[in-house]
Every structure is written in structure tokens, then in C-alpha cells.
Amino acid sequence: MSNLAKLDFVALDISGNNYLLWVLDAEIHLDANGLGETIKEGNTATTQNKAKAMIFLRHHLCEGLKYEYLTVKDPLTLWKNLKERYDHLKTVILPKARFDWLHLRLQDFKSIDDYNSAMFKITTQLELCGEKVSDVDKLEKTYQTFHGSQLLLSQQYRQRGFKRYCELVSCLLVAEQNNDILLKNHQSRPTGTDPFPEVNATKYENRNKGHAGIRGRGRGRGTWNTRNDRKGGPREDPRDGSRDRNIVNFCHRCGGKGHWARTCRAPPHVVDSYHRSLNDNKGKKKVETNFADTNESQPFNYDYLDVSDFFSDPDGRIDHLIGDGSVQASD
């Protein structure tokens, strides 16, 4: 019963859209199981083989077709009935396949793979309908449908004298891949320029120097272990977590952060510009630019201010502030 639950190929649909493929798959599987004679005229197959073939064919029918042919018990009869019912599809598929073959052009596809797939799909439909497409026809179809700007290329492929279509397709696929690589290399950067340097790249190399891979000097250096490495050493210092978060690596070569001078990969012009700015700033005091006075004609001294400078009385008297609280100046 487990074999009945598994389909070897797609079951025949009641619409018959997959009839041509179903017939091909059914013939192949029946021959593989030694039951190919059961669907041929004048066969001498045993009753047991006919029953096996009938079980196989009914198992690969949709539920609607099973009920329609419920009374048929001979595999040859079932095969003929399905052929009479769906064989007219060849007359429907054949005109469309011929039309697709007539208008098939290599220049209409973006890649050789797409063209090759369409080629085999059309030729398979033609062969199922009884029309054979030879390698010569496929080669001529390919040669004659190159783009107009590739006329010389088409002639060069024709002069190579390919005998089989697969040989031409293999050559076209290799040429297409080489062209893609050439275009990627050409578009990576302008012609005559060097590759862009990785200025901010950071590289860490653990050279296994010192205790637990930590380089240090003096007493007590390199004694703290990581969380996963506690063999023979003191326990982990709880202050290391906050200390590592506050440490910022500063490069004294290019002035950047995140790496040391010995691992710096900055280009020479960046390094020269940084050192030139350091030399220009030597001996100069830092100027605060929080306030800018644009009135240079009458400079005002802000260092010596008195309380009277904040009142409106020109004589500097503050009697108007005493009494009822009014702010009128005295005469």
C-alpha cells in the first residue's frame, strides 16, 4: 500500500493539458517495470501483468478520470480511450510550437541559458507532435538570429564548422562568461588608476606573546585571563570590562582611530597631510571661538563692569529703586 501512495510522475489532469508529457512518462515507467507490452496491439501479456499495468495507470490519473473509466479493466482499452480523448491536443500544440520556432531569435534573450532553454522547450513540443528538429536546423537558427551588430561574430562561429548544436552552445556560454568577467574588471575603477586603499581597515594579530596572548612589561602585566581561559591563573579582574570599553586605539601615524601605527594602512599622502598639520599647529595657542564681535571700530572692555552699568540712570544713582519700588529715575 505504501507504493500506491507515491506518484512516480504527475497524474493526468482531466483537462488533458499535460497529456503529452503523461504519455511519455507512462511509457517509460511501464517499460522499466516490464509491462510495456500490455498497451500494445495484439499483446500476449499475462493476466497478472495486465492487472499490474492497470493499477499503475489508474494510480496516475486524477480522481475525475478514475470515476469516468471505472468500468475499464484492460490497460490497452484504457490507453486507447485516453488517446482518442486527448490526442487532438497535438493539433492545438503543433501550430503554436511552429509559430514559436519561426519567431525564435537569439538576440531577444539576455543570456545564452535563456535562449537554450527556450530552444529545447520548443523543439520538444515539436517532437512530441511528430516533427523532428535536427542539429543543422538548430545551428542555422542560431547563426541567423545574432544581433545585427554581431554580424562578424556570427560569421566567425559559422566558419568554425560546428556539427552539433550542443558544441555551439558550450562555446557561446564560455564566451559569455569571459565577457562578463572582462566588463566587471573594466568597471571596477577608471583606466590607469590604482585600486582604492582600505584606510580604515583594522587587522589584529595574536602572536601569542606573553601570558594569555597579552604583551606587557613590568610586574603584574599579562596575569589576567579571559573568561574561557582560567587554567592556572588568578581569577578575572572585574574592572577589565569597563576599562576595555573606555580605551580608544589612536594611530600616531595617520591620526585615525581604531588601529595602531604598526597596523596602519593609510596611504602616504594622508600620513604627510597629518604630520604637516601637526607641525603647523606647534607653538600656537588654542583659541575659543564661542563668541565673535564684529564691531571692531569701538572695542569694549568687558573685564571692568560696575553695578551702575546695569541701570538706566546716566548719573549712576539708585534712589529710584528705594521706596515704592518704581523704576523712575530721580531728578
The Cα–Cα gap between 152 and 255 comes to 57
The Cα–Cα gap between 169 and 141 comes to 12
The Cα–Cα gap between 234 and 305 comes to 64
Which are the contacts of 65, defined by CB distance < 8 A and separation ≥ 6? 12, 14
The Cα–Cα gap between 21 and 94 comes to 14
Q: Which helix (H) or strand (E) holds 102?
A: helix 89-102
Answer whether 329's CB lies under 8 Å from 317's CB.
yes
String of b and e for 10-37 (b: at least 16 CB within 10 Å)?
A: ebbeeebebbbebbebbeebbeeeebbb
Answer whether 270's CB lies under 8 Å from 199's CB.
yes
What one-letter code names the amino acid at 159?
Q
Residues in the chain: 331
Cβ neighbours of 104 (radius 10 Å): 19
The alpha carbon of 262 is separated from its chain's Cα centroid by a whole number of angstroms, namely: 36
Cβ neighbours of 52 (radius 10 Å): 18
Which are the contacts of 155, defined by CB distance < 8 A and separation ≥ 6? none
Q: Which helix (H) or strand (E) holds 172?
A: helix 165-187
The Cα–Cα gap between 107 and 251 comes to 56
Q: Which residue has 516490464 as its cell numbers?
A: 34
pLDDT tens, residue order, the chain (331 aa): 444 568 888 899 998 888 888 998 999 999 999 999 999 988 888 999 999 999 999 999 999 999 999 899 999 999 999 998 988 888 888 899 999 999 999 999 999 999 999 999 999 989 888 889 999 999 999 999 999 888 888 899 999 999 999 999 999 999 999 988 988 888 887 877 777 676 655 554 455 544 544 555 555 555 455 455 455 545 555 555 545 555 667 788 888 888 888 888 888 888 888 888 888 766 565 555 555 555 555 555 555 556 566 555 555 555 555 555 555 544 4
